[in-house]
Amino acid sequence: MLLDKVRVVDLSRVLAGPIATMVLGDLGADIIKIEPPQGDETRTWTPMVDGESAYYLSANRNKRSIVIDLKREEGREIIYKLVKTSDVVIENFRPGVPESLKIDYNSLKNIKPDIIYCSIKGFGSKSSYATRPAYDLLLQAMSGLMASTGEEGRPPVRVAFALYDIIAGLIASVSIVAALYDRTLSGKGRYIEVSLYDSSIFAMSYIAMIYLMTGKMPKKMGSAHPSIVPYQTFECGDGKHLAVAVTNERFWENFCKALRLEELIADPRFKSNPDRVKNRQELIEMLSKKFKEKSRSEWIKLFEEYGVPYGPVYTLDEVFNDPHVVASGIVGEVKHPTLGMIKQLLYPALIDNVRPKPRKAPPRMGEDAISILKELGYSDADIEKLISTRVVCCKLS
């Protein structure tokens, strides 16, 4: 594996940090997940399947878990020993917490000068909002996403999953890999800070850029696009929805032929994409009425025949029965110690035409404590004392 010589001390919890470390773990890194005595809070988030949280299982494979009380000096000593043998530390504590626990970058680089330390913050350590909580819902609100998603005249709409946590986690993993590469050339460690809020602004991409360049507020357009028409979903005769993406004139002609609306091709109101954007309302009303004449499957057959870009609006059961998804291997399995074989959404890239397979199921709370401590040189007597004094907890969830 690409990162099989890399060890990561993972002090993060919930989603952004765990996603970053799971990606590194998928690429071969040894991820040591450090949990507080109460465990990663997502272990208790519903729905639960035989005592295990589906949410937790989504972001923690290919990791080893040890539960350490970092408020105890003996607990911090374990971290220091781990750092000496590790390449990366990642955390998403509240501001000031790493310093109070003496596990901040300045403390750890004294132990290992070339350590790469990644801190995921809600708003950034230098922000005037530094101490404010930065849950994904709040970031979706503050990034402009909720003001530009949904339909005009309707309340703000949240994307159904924690979009910005995922994006920030991916930015963190890319930054860490870049720092690892740089270290092979310079020998230097790095301090990386990823702001969830900055990540959310960055992710707004061309929606934000359109405002910055024109000064115009984006409209809430449902599934439609501000710059391309037609580029949205339509309800079909059977009540199902179909998305179409008519991004150039060739597709526009094919689309009109598939709909048996050839007269629209030469219609000056719709002759070019700028014309169609200008006359959006007229065109969409006509197309919406037309789509009601056939079922989704009938339109799909015609769009296949005429080469029109389309995508059915799938429910999740349809997603996981799609022939591409079934054949791609994006859904895999890994053996869990109590649940048996469980499904996982695997790494979304192929390396030398092979998709990385999970090596280890998301760990139960503290299940790897003894093996990790032995690797660090602790004797059986030392380990027994750490457990009996509750510096280290080995209780399995």
The residue with tokens 């998804």 is: 325
Please determine, for residue 379, whether its predicted confidence score (pLDDT) is greater than 90. Answer: yes
Cβ within 8 Å of residue 98, ≥6 positions away: 91, 104, 105, 107, 119
Strand 190-195 vs strand 116-121: parallel, antiparallel, or unpaired? Answer: parallel
Cβ within 8 Å of residue 310, ≥6 positions away: 242, 243, 244, 245, 299, 300, 303
Please determine, for residue 394, whether its predicted confidence score (pLDDT) is greater than 80. Answer: no
Please determine, for residue 151, whether its predicted confidence score (pLDDT) is greater than 70. Answer: yes
Instruction: Please tell me the least confidently modeled range out of 110-114, 267-271, 377-381, 392-396.
Output: 392-396
Q: 397 pLDDT band (50/70/90 cuts)?
A: very low
**Residues of the chain with pLDDT > 90: what percent?**
95
The residue with tokens 């040591």 is: 32
C-alpha dihedral (123, 125, 129, 132), degrees to nearest 10: 80
CA gap 257, 237 in Å, rounded: 19
Q: Tell me, what amino acid is at 365?
A: M
Q: Tell me which residues are annotated as active site.
A: 165
In this prediction, residues 113-121 reach a mean pLDDT of: 98
Peptide bond into 47 cis (omega under 30): yes
**Residues of the chain with pLDDT > 70: what percent?**
99
Cβ within 8 Å of residue 83, ≥6 positions away: 9, 89, 108, 111, 112, 115
Could you tell me the two tokens for 317? 């059961």
Model pLDDT, residue 319: 96
Domain spans in the chain, listed from the N-terminal domain onward: 7-203+354-393, 231-313
C-beta of residue 71 within 8 angstroms of C-beta of residue 101: yes
170-202 tens-digit pLDDT? 999 999 999 999 999 999 999 999 999 999 999
Model pLDDT, residue 53: 96
Q: Judge whether 7-203+354-393 and 231-313 match in fold.
A: no
DSSP state of 361: P
CA gap 372, 393 in Å, rounded: 13
In this prediction, residues 151-173 reach a mean pLDDT of: 95
Q: 393 pLDDT band (50/70/90 cuts)?
A: confident
Please determine, for residue 30, whether its predicted confidence score (pLDDT) is greater than 50. Answer: yes
Range 7-203+354-393 classified under CATH 3.40.50.10540: yes
61-106 tens-digit pLDDT? 999 999 999 999 999 999 999 999 999 999 999 999 999 999 999 9
Strand 30-35 vs strand 7-10: parallel, antiparallel, or unpaired? Answer: parallel
320-363 tens-digit pLDDT? 999 999 999 999 999 999 999 999 999 999 999 999 999 999 99
Direct distance between the N- and C-terminal alpha carbons of the chain, in angstroms, rounded to an integer = 30
| Cα within 13 Å of Cα(115), Cβ side | 26
Cα–Cα distance list, 52 to 25, 48, 57, 60, 66 (Å)? 21, 5, 8, 12, 17
41-56 tens-digit pLDDT? 999 999 999 999 999 9
Choose the CATH number for 231-313 among 3.90.1580.10, 3.40.50.150, 3.30.1540.10, 3.40.50.300. Answer: 3.30.1540.10
Model pLDDT, residue 271: 93
Model pLDDT, residue 219: 85
Average pLDDT of every residue of the chain: 95
Model pLDDT, residue 395: 57
Strand 231-235 vs strand 241-245: parallel, antiparallel, or unpaired? Answer: antiparallel
CA gap 183, 178 in Å, rounded: 9
237-285 tens-digit pLDDT? 999 999 999 999 999 999 999 999 999 999 999 999 999 999 999 999 9
Cα–Cα distance list, 11 to 76, 136, 344 (Å)? 12, 20, 23
Q: Tell me, what amino acid is at 59?
A: A
Cα four-point dihedral sign 56, 60, 63, 68: negative
